[in-house]
Every structure is written in C-alpha cells, then in structure tokens.
Structure 1
Amino acid sequence: MTWPAFAGPSTLAGVASTRQKHLNQALMRIPRRAESTDRDSLAATYVSAGSFSAMLHSTDHQILYGRRGTGKTHALLHLADLLTQTGDLAVYVDLRTIGSTGGMYGDPTVNLAQRGTHLLVDTLEAMHDELLSTAVEGDGREALLPALDALAEAATSVQVVGQVEHETKVGDAFSQHHGVDLATRGARISAGRQETANRESRLRRSGVEQHHVVFGPLNRALRDIVRALDGSRLWLMLDEWSSVPLDLQPLLADLVRRGILPVAGLTVKIAAIERRCQFRTGPSSGGDYMGIEVGADAAHAASLDDFLLFDHVRSRAQDFFGQLFHNHVSLRLTEMLGEPQSDVLDEMFKRGAFNELVRAAEGVPRDAINIAALAAQNARDEPIGIADIRRAARDWFLRDKQTAIMAHEPARQTLRLLVDEVVGRRGSRTFLISHMACPDTIDELYDARVLHVLRRGVVDRRHPGEMYDAFAVDFGCYVSLLLDGGLSGQPADKSGWLTSARGIPPAGFNFAKEAIDPAKLA
C-alpha cells in the first residue's frame, strides 16, 4: 500500500484504521454457502484437505458424507469446474430445489407411490434441464439435442408402483320355511320344513406394503446421451440428498442404481449427511433390495469430517484455515480496493487470535467463517483479538448449535451431563465411550456439531473385543468459562494420546475406568 507523502502520525493512523476496517469488512463478506457464489470465485477460494480432491476426482461412483458446513457443495462445484476445463460434462442437481409442488414429497396424506413418482420425474427433469442448457449454450454440444428428447420421454414414463395388500370377503345367506297347520277342537297338528344356506368367499393378502420402480426406456436414453458426448464423460452430481424425505430416499436410490449406474461413461457423485440417509431397504420377498448398497453399488467416499480432523496434527489445521481465509479475504479485498492483496492474515489478527479461531472452528469451515465474521464485527476497525474470537464463538454456539438441539430434550440433557463430567469434573475436553454402548443422543450431538469425533474404533489391548470412540467437546460448550475466568486456560487433554499422531494409549491405561458410561451420567 502507498502511504501519502509527508503524512503525519494522525494521517497514518487514519489510513491504518481505514485499512483495518476494509480487512474486517472482507471477513464479514465471505459467503457462507457455496451455491450463492459464482463458479470463478469458487475455483479461486477452494482449499483441498489432504488427498480429498484427488479421491473425489476418481471415476468411481461415490457417496460423499459430511456434516453441515464441511464443504460438500463447494467440493462438488469445484469438481464440476475442473471437469469442464478438461472437456467432460458435469451436471449438478440440488435436490432441495427440484419440483414445483412444494411440500408434496413430505406430505403424509399423499400415498408413497404418488410422492415417489413425482420425486423421480422431477429429478430426471432437473437433469434434462441442465443438459439442455449445456446443449443450447455450450460450444460443440448440439449433438445432445436428439438424445435429450428421448430422455424427456423416458422421464415421463418412470413411475413408482405399490401393491396394496388387503382382505376381501364376499358372503350371502338364504333361508326358506314351509309349513302346514291343522287345528280341531282340543287338538293342533303342525308340519313344516326349514332350509338355510350360507356362502362366503374370502381372499386375504397380508404382509408389508411393497413398492417397485418402473424405469421404462431411461437406461437407453442415458446411453444415447453419453454416446453423443463423443468420448467425453458425463458426471452427475446429486447434492443435498438428505433433504429428500427418508421414506422416499430408497426409491430415488433405486432409480440411480438400476437406471443410471449401469451406463458406461457416466459417473455419479452424491453428497449427503450420513445420519440423515437411508439408501436402501429390503431385501423384499423376492430376495432383492431396493436402493443402493453402499460399498458395493457405490463406493463410500471417506467423510469430509475425517479429512478435516486436524487434532492429530495441529499445524495442518492452521495451514488449511490460513489458506482458506487468505483466498477468501484476498478475493474480497481485490474487489473492494481494485488491487491484489497478499499476507493479510497477520494484519487481521492479533497474536494468538488466529490459533484461537482454529481451535474454535473444530475443523468445520462454515463455523470458522461465521465465527471470524462475528469477531470482525466485534473488533470494528481494530485487529481481531483472542477475546473477540471467544465472544464470537459463544454467540455462534448460542445462535446456531444450541438452537439446533433445543427441541431434542434427551440430546440437550446428555450434552449438559457430558460437559459437567468432562469439562467440569475432569478438566478435559476429550473423552472415550464404548462403541457398543454409544446412545443415539451422542450421534445427534455429533450431527449438531457440538461433539466432534477424534478417533473411531480404538481397541483395548487387554480386551481386543471391546472398541471405543473418542470425542471432543465443542469449544462453544466451555468458552463462557474462558471469558468469565472460570477456566484459566484451555481444558487440558487428560487423554493426550487421543490427539497425537500415533494415537497409542500409554502403558497401563485403563479403558474401562476412563471411558464414560452414558447410563451412569445421570
């Protein structure tokens, strides 16, 4: 930056204050969601965690897992940009936005077959619209047009058929009486005959209602599209899978497995939240299952949460988030000031503040961006300090994470007891829990990003059949204690080996004694 000639102290202070204000404004302007950002900005700001980008670029069908805010959408859109540069064709479909009849998919008053049919047709029409835009606007893709007509016709022929099992009873009855009475003085003679007939027919079908998908010419239409690409590969990216109602997900997965996965020259990538997915049901009475078998029909891409596990190597976390904020802030400052920027992190954060931000983020990029934006708002025209980060982390925890679990009383109660035990009594932030004894509330807290997995499947050498999962309590759960002096510093990791690179417990470590028993928390 060029300083004004003969600038005095007050002038220099004013320029520095304006500069700092621009830096903090750049932090506050970082987009929270990838779909709201143009493709050029996505490419400029993307940061890959380890070998994740290379793995995602594989032509294998893959399911990409990750909690909210880990960057699934950004990863898919960045991959689409790379594929376009290499000549392949990427079709991105956001499953939250398909369809025109809002609320139908999750409406319990509409039968499953009707809801499923609408979902499948709407998904195929979204694919068709993306391909049509490419054929009309893209150079050299006109050959797609005839094949797209066949895809549009195939989309309308897809339907979900349900066989409703019922009981039918048909019956009738017939009665006839004949009689003669003769009477004289003092005597009565009676003769008669009674005839009765009953007929009943019953047809009973019992069991569980089953559905299947009728695909029609879908597979053939997709093969024609791939042939029209003349050697280029077609990549289908289905984002926000978990937004589809759980009971409809196996139907959509079955469409993908039977109608799309067998097509040579086509790759499918699905982004989903693991605990909000149901990719298959079955097997049915015929021995087959409906949906996708993860690991067989589609490879299970390693979770983004696993790639963002930085506790084992703290320097990796600082490098990742340093590059992330440098890319975003430099781009925003260039837009604001009209000149390229470099080495901005040292100007934005006071000593130790950036490391505190990395700790507060717990490996989740969107949480890091939101905390940094709130901290920049608190700092105004000053560099961001540790206290700014802590106040922002507390506000973000109360505003986003705690709100997410307020309606789930068992999960909220479990979190309170865990924080009391782990942070309060043990003075730690990490804990072990038996893999077999892990309750659903722990998974719900992990899904809400108030617990974070450090390691899974840790084996007790003395009892190899017993495995444990290692978790860390979220920074927001105890940051208020740091702000008001209840804690003099960060909670120590009493089981420090959990966050070491090797992850080997010390000799004599007693798993049974150190692990938390959820049943005894209360």
Structure 2
Amino acid sequence: MRPINTILLRLAKRAETYNQQHIINSFVDVGPLFTLLSNPDNQILFGRRGTGKTHVLGYLANEVQRDGVIAIQLDMRTIGSTGGIYSDPRLTLPERATRLLVDTLCAIHDRILTEGLEKAEEYDLSALGPLLDNFIDAATNVVVEGTVEVQESKSATSTSADGIKGNIGASANGLQSSLDFTIENKNQAAEERRTKREGTECLRVRFGAVGREFEKLVTALPQSQLWIVFDEWSEIPLDLQPYLADLLRRTVLPVRGVTVKIAAIEQRCRFRIPDEAVGHIGIEIGADAAASINLDEFLVFDNNPDLAKQFFRELLHRHVKALVSATKEMEVKESASEFINDLFTQRPAFEEFVRSAEGVPRDAINIIGVAAQKALDHAISVPDVRAAARTWYTRAKQQAVSTKPLAQDLLNWIVDEVIQHRQARAFLLGSEVKDDLVDFLYDARVLHIIRQGVSAQDIPGRRFNVYALDYGCYVDLINTSRAPQGLFEVDVEGKSGFVDVPYTDFRSIRRAILELSPFYAKRL
C-alpha cells in the first residue's frame, strides 16, 4: 500500500482522540467562522455530528489561552451523576437540574484550581485559594427540608455549709490558743438544648451568593476574564436542558468577565420552554445568548463549490501533515494543491470526494479512509471515491436510519419522488413545516439543508428550505439514465431547466416543492 494511503487509514474520526497540538496544527478556518466565535459574546454553536464543533471550540480555547485568559472546555458527557442525569421518580426535574448545575460548578472549580496549580508561578494561590473555597461553599449549600424538633432541659443544684471551729487550750509552757474557721458554699447549674431535624437534605443554589463569589473569583483571574466552553450539550437529557440552561442564566451568564460558548445539535436540544409563572424557563437565543452559528451552512458543496474544495483540500493536507510530523515516517509536500495532486488520480476525483462529503468533515475523513483502502498501491480515483461513499453510507448512515422504520419509509418515499420521478437530488419544503421524521433524517445526515428562506414570485408570502439528498442515496445511479440532472427543476426567466446552485429567489419553483401529506395519507 502507498505510504500516503497508509497514513489516511490512521486519521482519527473524532477530535477528542487527538492531542492539543494536533488540533492546533490541523485546524482549518472557513469564511468568517473563527472571527464570529472569537468575540466575547455568549454564543451557541449548532452543527450536526461530525461537523467539527469540538475541533473548532478546542482551537478557540487554545487561542484564548495564548492571550493569557483562562479557557476551560467541559465535556457534558462526563458531568453529573446518576442522581441528576437519569430519571428518578423520587426527584423533581428542578431538583435533578440543580444537582447537575452543582456538578457543573464543581467541574468549573476543579478546572480553575488545576490551572492554578499547574501554573503556580503565574497565580497568587494564597489569594486564589480562599476565593475558590468560598465559591464552592456557596455552590454546594445543603439544606434540610422537613420538621425541626427542639428539646430543652435544665437542672440546678445548690449546696452550702458554714462552720466555725475554735480550740483554746493551755500548755505547760504557757498559754497557747488555736482557731479554725471553715465556710463552705457550693452552687451547680446545668442546661441542655438539643435540636432534632427530620427531613431530606437538598441542594439549594442561592443565585446571589453564588454570583457574588463567582464574580470575586473571576476578578482575581488573569485579565479578570474566564471563557467556558460547554461541549456535547445535546448529551444532556432533553427534559433537563431548559432547566440547566435557566440555572446557568441566573448564576454564570450575569457574571462580568465570563464568556460562555455552547456546542449543540439543533435537533437534539431544547434551550427554552414556556412557563406560566415566569414566562419562560431557559436561555432565550438572541437575548441571553447571541445569535447562534450553524456549521452546516459553511461547507455544503452546492452552496459554494470553490470554498468547499479549498476547505477539504486544506483539511486533508493539515491532518496528514500533523500526523506525520509526530512520527517522521514520510515527507509531505508543503503545498496543499501538490499534496492533493499526488493523492488523487485527477482533479475530478477530488471534486467527487468533496461532493460525497456533503460538507461534513467526519464523513469526509471516513470516506477518504475507505477510498485509500480500496486504492491500495494506486492514487485514489473516481471509482474508488464512489465505492467508498457507498460503503460508508451503508455502514453508518443506513444503519442509523434503519433503527426507525417510519423514517426509513419516508426516506424511501423521498428518494422515489425526487430522484426517480423528478430526476433531481434536492427538493423544497415549506419553512413552516415541522416534521420529526425529517429532523431525524437531517440529524442522521441523509438529508442536508443547503439553503433557507428560498422564495418564488408566483408563490408570494411563502418561503422554503432547500433539502438535498445525501450522495450515498444516488451514487449507484451516477452514469445511468436515472441519474439526477441537477438540484431541482425550476422556471428561470421563462425557461425551464435544472439548477445547480440554490438561488434565494426564483420565478417558479412549483416542480421542486415536496408536500409530505401524500406520504402520511398513504401510511394511514
């Protein structure tokens, strides 16, 4: 096998498996993404699995630390305990969320303490230590809910004895006298008070106290700033998410100098729920946290082919270069373009690879690994890319969809309607349509949103989202008579034809609109 193909097989699929230096060396910025994330506003970073949320936030945390500011990255999969995370019929949702908040605050305390101990020469531990203690004491306050019984008992004793003894006597040598005088008085009193509490110990987070102690702690940190990155937010149970978000809104977000970044999967998170008493529980996006960033909008091939090719060219080059630099087993060309020319047989092979990734870096790394395995001693060709994409789709995405039979039926129906009947690879769905099955297919990365808010002059007042079918759905049809002819068919300037770029406004898009009602009517 070619040495470069061997290296491709060793590329890790998840950012947390790499060390910090590899994450730094292999990071590829795209458009204004890093600039948007670098501002001190609280933000939510959305993106499906494999879009690079952990990687970009890890790189962000490192850049912040280079500027002398403490940045801690918390993996929410490792925060909490069974009593807070999992459903317990004896505990209410607020109590479970409070336990999870306390575990989160304890994790923040531990990370700051570890940072102080590792860089003791940069921190005044004599001043930082008491502040950390006060913060964790306020965060872990425990009260007992139940009855309180007070028992009191008193006892007193008094003893007194007065006596005078005199003894006068004469001796042979003369008169001798003696006088003994004794006075005795004893008083003793005892009082006993016992308090008996019966009830349940509960954590109670007093927002004001925690906020004050946290602000004092942050003020004592370098530059009086602290960046907190919450990764894998979607791993928190869905019912707990709005409560934990609300508790963070009341304890962490108001603290001056604290910047919070949250990485989440849009279809698997719930930051806010309505509440009659207080209006809402949770974080309001746009108010409590700045407008969110969605990684899925940056790298789709059909949106901007040149940008997508540039990103994946740099992605492969930097990952391989970072991996080889640690082992020194081969030389990698400094130019990313020359590296790609050596890796693929021709330019169309690389373009086919970029299209097959559908804007998802993890899918790209998996596909290139399978393609390298199929190419063996040769450069990677178009057939290798297509075979690898088919294998990866069957091995990963098809298996995920098959766990939900109704979603599988909907995918089969969409493929039949869009590819077979319309010879297209994309369709339009009304922006107002909220469908759990469509969200599941999108989360499983067999559907991709490539444009939002598309409108048409002949359908005033209604907007649509452009969904594209995954490359693996139609890879077997390429070079056949049933292959898709383009994204979808529309009327533009009075002419009917297929488009490859989803504009924001068309004259007519009726042929591209997909209504889900026939599918559900058929199921009923």
Work out whether the TM-score is over 0.5.
yes
SS of the equivalent of 1:299 reads: coil
Q: Are residues 152 and 398 of structure 1, via their aligned partners in 2, closer, same or farther at CA, if it must alter by over 3 Å? A: same
1:106 paired with 2:86, answer: yes
1:515 aligns with 2:513: yes
Q: Report the Cα distance in structure 2 between the residues aligned to 1:372 and 1:28, rounded to whole angstroms.
A: 8
Which amino acid letter does the alignment assign opposite residue 78 of structure 1?
A: Y
Is residue 144 from structure 1 mapped to residue 128 from structure 2 by the alignment?
Answer: yes
Q: Report what 1:494 is aligned to.
A: 488
Amino acid at match of 1:97: T
Deviation at 1:77? Answer: 0.5
* Aligned amino acid, residue 455 of structure 2: V
- Report the more deviating stretch, 55-64 or 453-462: 453-462
The residue aligned with 2:299 is 308
Q: How many residue pairs are counted as aligned between the two chains?
A: 447
**TM-aligned CA distance change 1:23 to 1:488, over 3 Å:** farther
Aligned residue in 2 for 1:116: 97
Q: Indicate the SS of the match to 2:403.
A: coil
Q: How does 1:6-155 map to 2 (within 5 A)?
A: 21-99=2-80, 101-102=81-82, 105-111=85-91, 112-138=93-119, 139-141=121-123, 142=125, 143-155=127-139
What is the CA distance between 1:497 and its match in structure 2? 7.4
Q: Is 1:377 the equivalent of 2:373?
A: yes
Kindly indicate whether the alpha-carbon contact (under 8 Å) linking 2:298 and 2:359 is maintained by their aligned counterparts in 1: no
- Runs of 4 or more, structure 1, over 6 Å off, are 158-161
Q: In the superposition, relative to structure 1, how do residues 437 and 331 fare at CA in structure 2: closer, same or farther (>3 Å)?
A: closer
Equivalent of 1:398 in 380, 387, 394: 394
State the shift of 1:490 in Å: 5.8
Q: Is the 8 A contact 1:151 1:222 kept in 2?
A: yes
Aligned to 2:421: 425
Alpha-carbon displacement from aligned partner over 1:410-458 (angstroms, at most 9, x marks no partner): 2111110110111112111111122234532222211111011121111
- Match of residue 493 from structure 2: none
Is this contact kept in 2: 1:72–1:271, CA < 8 A?
yes
State which drifts further: 490-499 or 368-377. Answer: 490-499
Amino acid at match of 2:339: V
Residue deviations 1:384-415 (CA, integer Å, cap 9, x gap): 11111111111111121122221222211111
Q: Residue type of the partner of 1:90?
A: A
Match of 1:328 in 2: 319
Match in the other structure for 2:189: none
- Cα contact 1:454–1:499 (8 A) shared by 2: no
Q: Which has the higher strand share?
A: 2
| Structure 1: unaligned runs, 5 residues or longer | 1-19, 162-210
Cα offsets for 1:195-223 (capped at 9, x unmatched): xxxxxxxxxxxxxxxx9964362111210
Within the alignment, does 1:222 sit opposite 2:214 as a pair? yes
Report Cα offsets for 1:234-288 as digits up to 9, x if no partner. Answer: 1011111110001111121112111011111110000101111111223332x34
Cα separation, 1, equivalents of 2:144 and 2:439: 33
Cross-structure match for 2:446 = 450
On the 8 A contact 1:376/1:384 being kept in 2, the answer is yes
Q: Is the 8 A contact 2:242 2:282 kept in 1?
A: yes
Match of 1:201 in 2: none
CA deviations 1:358-389 (Å, max 9, x no partner) are 01000001100111111111222221111111
SS for the counterpart of 1:300 is coil
Distance 2:39 2:144 in 1: 32
| Displacement after TM superposition at 1:121 (Å) | 1.5
Q: Measure how far apart 1:473 and its partner are.
A: 0.5
Cα 1:131/1:158, change in 2 over 3 Å: farther
What is the one-letter code of the residue matched to 1:248? L
Residue 65 of structure 1 deviates from its aligned partner by 0.6
Report whether the alignment pairs 1:350 with 2:348: no
1:299-339 superposed Cα distances (whole Å, 9 cap, x missing partner): 12221111223312211111000000010112223334356
Residues 159 and 214 in structure 1, CA contact (< 8 A), matched pair in contact too: no
User: What is aligned with 1:341?
Assistant: 332
Which amino acid in structure 1 is aligned with residue 247 of structure 2?
L
**Counterpart secondary structure, 2:377:** coil
* Secondary structure of residue in 1 paired with 2:227: strand
Give the secondary-structure state (helix, strand or coil) at the position aligned to 2:74.
strand
Q: How far apart, CA to CA, are the structure 2 residues paired with 1:259 and 1:333?
A: 45
Q: Partner residue of 1:294? A: 285
Distance 2:233 2:324 in 1: 35
1:254 maps to a residue whose letter is D
Distance apart, 1:480 and its partner CA? 2.6
Q: Where do 5+ consecutive residues of structure 2 fail to align? A: 146-202, 490-496
**Residue matched to 2:266:** 274
SS in 2 for 1:262: coil
Query: 1:254 aligns to what?
Result: 246
Structure 1 residue 468 displacement after superposition: 1.2
Q: Say which SS state the counterpart of residue 381 (structure 1) adopts.
A: coil
Paired position in structure 1 for 2:255: 263
TM-score, scaled to structure 2: 0.80
> Percent identity of the aligned residues?
42
For residues 499 and 217 of structure 2, what CA distance do their matches in structure 1 show? 50
The one-letter code matched in structure 2 to 1:67 is: R
For the residues of structure 2 that align with 1:103 and 1:341, how far apart are their CA atoms? 51
CA separation of 1:501 and 1:461: change in aligned 2, threshold 3 A: closer
- Residues 104 and 110 of structure 1 are in contact (CA less than 8 Å); yes or no, is this contact kept in structure 2? no
Distance across 2 between alignment mates of 1:129 and 1:43: 24
CA distance in 2, matches of 1:32, 1:159: 46
Deviation at 1:491, TM superposition (A): 4.3
What is the CA deviation profile of residues 4-37 of structure 1, one whole-angstrom value per residue up to 9, with x for unaligned ones? xxxxxxxxxxxxxxxx621012111112111111
**Change in 2 beyond 3 A, CA 1:462/1:376:** same
Change (3 A) 1:437 1:267: closer
Deviation at 1:492, TM superposition (A): 2.5
8 Å CA contact retained: 2:457, 2:505: no
Amino acid at match of 2:486: A
Structure-1 residue corresponding to 2:411: 415
- Cα displacement (A) at 1:131: 0.8
TM-aligned CA deviation for residue 72 of structure 1: 0.6
CA positional deviation for 1:156: 0.8
